Amino acid sequence: MNRRMPMPSKNSGGSGRMPAGRAPKRKMDFKVLGRVVKLLFRYYPRMVPISIVCIFFSAVTATLPAIFLERVTTAITKCVTYENNRVVWVEDWATARAQIFPQVFLLIGFYVLALIAVTLETQLAAYITQGFLSKMRKSMFNGMQNLPIRFFDTNKHGDIMSYYTNDIDTLRQLIGQSLPTLIRAGTIVLSVFFIMLWYSVWLTLIVIVGVILMFLVSGKLGGGSAKFFIRMQKSVAAEEGYVQEMMNGQKVVKVFNHEDRAMEDFNRLNNELFENTYRANGYANMLGPIIMNIGNLLYVIIVIVGCLFLVGGAFNPSIGVLLGKADPVIGVGIVVAFLSMTKQFTGNINQVTQQINSVVMAMAGANRIFSLVDQQPEADEGYVTLVNAEIAEDGTVRETDRHTGKWAWKHPHEDGTVTYTELKGDVRLTDVDFSYEEGKPVLHDVSVFAEPGQKVAFVGATGAGKTTVTNLINRFYDIADGKIRYDGININKIRKSDLRRSLGIVLQETNLFTGTVMDNIRYGKLDATDEECVAAAKLAGADDFITRLPNGYETELTNNGANLSQGQRQLIAIARAAVADPPVMILDEATSSIDTRTEAIVQKGMDALMKGRTVFVIAHRLSTVRNSDVIMVLDHGRIIERGNHEKLIADRGQYYQLYTGAFELE
């Protein structure tokens, strides 16, 4: 790449869930949480409320046994007494049965309804969770397609990939587990709390003191757990990235006998992962048993205090007493019910504390996801479009719906008129200045005039600015000063998609996609026929080796065409550009990966491909630019020499030195 790359942005660290060098704080980001909830209601306006109602119903039903237990126990204690260590019925069984059985059958009815609610809620939760993740992935990917090239130049690809894997997975846990658990546990805690107040204020205060102790312990241990879980995720990302790097560079590792050093580096990363995982799980595993045993201790205290109240007949203030609906003295039924409610109350408090870390992690992941979704799309103020055209003998240009092989720029004007300019491939850069980073200019006062059908070559040392020129023609970046005109039209007025459709490009780094050879060639023109793809392959000189593949043009390519040689992959890329049949071609080191023999084979096809087109060529191998109409020599962003091969050789300047030096090396 012949340009200085911008420094990575602040959010480009590794493939972890958070940017490198900036550990997230353990706090709840309620704005992000609110945004997630709003999206859930927007995507599923009926399913989410139904799911919440089901959770509420099943949660409230879970608190009913304490009420029924108190009523049944009270009914039984009123019907029996103890004489000589024997149970004696004060009232007959029929009276007790009339009070007990309706309560039991009513509770069974609630449980059946709760079972239906839980079944419905779990099915809805699965659908909502996976559907939400699917929509978020679509939103991220669709938005990513509209981002400027600068975004991909300034963010590590592994970090971008983590949006779709690690960060999305935190949302899966949040929506599928944490939020339903928090709603259910919170509902049970509130319901049980009010039931407790209905029966006894004194016993409720004892439970509250125990819960405060639970929260203090949870805050201490949970904070350490969240901190190390975040470190653990970063360690996982670092180790995964290192393993991937070693797999890709395995040949280099073996050639330079780097196995021992590679193992040392891996062991260091693996030990960091072990340490962080051990501490994270150590805190997390400690939290549950401690909270549970505080609950057990609270259970014992309730037994003791309840028994003391029973024996002493102490006054029992409660909401029920205030409303005249309960006995002012604690009975056996209340103590028994409180034991059940204490277990339920502390158990659900424990569930809430266990979900805090998951929610914090999910908010960190959601924050990163929204940072991608909120990226500003590539600005495009262009209004000049590319249309199929018919060219009359007198030069009149007319738009048509059918494909004629001729193109024109459709230029609407403020007065409502529309003019058409034939697409010829006249590209002119005038006094262009550009910098990737402010204050660090890359191009200075560059002027290039490429007439239709001309072959213009850029040569120079690495970093001279050769690729930058072609990036500006594509409008991957916008210039700081000067003008770029295409067939006399300022390219800022041309819609970017139409501008790029008129330009074919073959890059030094070949990208082949999973699919057949035919699919990869057709990528240049999605509606191309098989015959057109084969013709393009023949033009590029690729047909010969393609027909010798196991399945010819239907041979499946995977892993960026790993089963092909670098030269073969490049030939397919050239064929892909050929099938697009653009009026302007950009060849960025297009033959650099092809050996001399293969270059000779493809050169004839390349000459045919370039015939009648405006062509920009970037090459280190100067033998490929000898037949260029104009050769531009760049040095530190300035054009220092220009002319054809013979003129530049005669001038004996830098081109002469590069050219003769190359031959001396050969």
| Structural domain includes residue 443 | yes
- Residues 33/364, Cβ–Cβ less than 8 Å: no
- Residues 536/521, Cβ–Cβ less than 8 Å: yes
| Structural domain includes residue 551 | yes
pLDDT attached to residue 410 = 92
Q: pLDDT tens, 591-604?
A: 666 666 766 766 66
User: 139 and 67 share a domain?
Assistant: yes
Whether 582 has a pLDDT exceeding 60, the answer reads yes
- Residues 41/315, Cβ–Cβ less than 8 Å: no
Torsion of CA 116, 118, 119, 121, to 10 degrees: 120
Residue 490 Ramachandran class (φ > 0 left, ψ -120 to 50 alpha, else beta): beta
What count of other Cβ atoms lies within 10 Å of the Cβ of residue 548?
9
Residue with tokens 């409320």, as numbered in its chain: 49
Closest CA to 533 of 511, 518, 547: 518
Cα 327 from chain centroid? 60
pLDDT attached to residue 29 = 66
Q: Name the 3-class secondary structure at 636.
A: coil
What is the band of 605 on the pLDDT scale with cuts at 50, 70, 90? low
What is the band of 158 on the pLDDT scale with cuts at 50, 70, 90? low
- Residues 226/360, Cβ–Cβ less than 8 Å: yes
Q: Please state the domain count of the chain.
A: 4
- Residues 281/233, Cβ–Cβ less than 8 Å: no
Whether 25 has a pLDDT exceeding 60, the answer reads no
User: 153 and 64 share a domain?
Assistant: yes
Structure tokens at 585: 């071609």
Whether 122 has a pLDDT exceeding 70, the answer reads yes
Q: pLDDT tens, 204-220?
A: 888 888 888 877 877 77
Q: Give the span between the Cα atoms of 318 and 295, in whole angstroms.
A: 23
Task: For 319, list phi and psi in degrees, rounded to 5.
Answer: -65, -40
What count of other Cβ atoms lies within 10 Å of the Cβ of residue 172?
16
**End position of a domain, from candidates 581, 607, 629:** 581
User: 535 and 446 share a domain?
Assistant: no
User: 303 and 430 share a domain?
Assistant: no
Higher pLDDT, 137 or 613: 137
pLDDT attached to residue 406 = 84
| Structural domain includes residue 436 | yes
Q: Give the span between the Cα atoms of 531 and 533, in whole angstroms.
A: 5
| Structural domain includes residue 111 | yes
Q: Give the dihedral sign, CA 240/242/247/248.
A: positive
Read off the amino acid at residue 534.
V
| Structural domain includes residue 191 | yes
- Residues 348/151, Cβ–Cβ less than 8 Å: no
User: 217 and 314 share a domain?
Assistant: yes
Q: What is the DSSP track for 15-78?
A: TSSS-TT-PPPSS--HHHHHHHHHHHHHH-TTHHHHHHHHHHHHHHHHHHHHHHHHHHHHHHHH
User: 326 and 208 share a domain?
Assistant: yes
pLDDT attached to residue 42 = 94
Q: What is the 3-state secondary structure (H, E, C) of 357-393?
A: HHHHHHHHHHHHHHHHHCCCCCCCCCCEEEEEEEECC
Q: Which stretch of 33-47, 90-104, 487-501 has the lowest confidence by average pLDDT?
A: 90-104
User: 244 and 226 share a domain?
Assistant: yes
CATH code at 531?
3.40.50.300
What is the band of 82 on the pLDDT scale with cuts at 50, 70, 90? low
Q: Give the span between the Cα atoms of 427 and 411, in whole angstroms.
A: 17
User: 173 and 221 share a domain?
Assistant: yes
User: 226 and 260 share a domain?
Assistant: yes
| Structural domain includes residue 1 | no
Q: pLDDT tens, 365-415?
A: 888 889 889 988 888 888 999 998 888 887 788 888 887 778 899 999 988
Q: Give the span between the Cα atoms of 464 and 52, in whole angstroms.
A: 62
pLDDT attached to residue 26 = 45
Instruction: Give the residue-averaged pLDDT of 139-168.
Output: 82
User: 437 and 294 share a domain?
Assistant: no
In sequence order, the 6+-apart residues with CB closer than 8 A to the CB of 666 are: none
How many CA within 13 A on the CB side of residue 264? 4
Q: Give the span between the Cα atoms of 370 and 366, in whole angstroms.
A: 6
Helical ranges in 250-323 per DSSP H: 250-255, 259-312, 319-322
CATH code at 80?
1.20.1560.10
User: 527 and 618 share a domain?
Assistant: no
| Structural domain includes residue 7 | no
| Structural domain includes residue 106 | yes
pLDDT attached to residue 663 = 39
What count of other Cβ atoms lies within 10 Å of the Cβ of residue 18?
24
Q: b/e map of 201-220 (b: 16 or more CB within 10 Å)?
A: eebbebbeebbeebeebbee
Identify the bridge partners of residue 411 per DSSP, sorted by sequence position. Answer: 419
* Domain coverage including residue 400: 385-422
What is the band of 492 on the pLDDT scale with cuts at 50, 70, 90? very high
User: 87 and 233 share a domain?
Assistant: yes
Read off the amino acid at residue 541.
G
Residue 410 Ramachandran class (φ > 0 left, ψ -120 to 50 alpha, else beta): beta
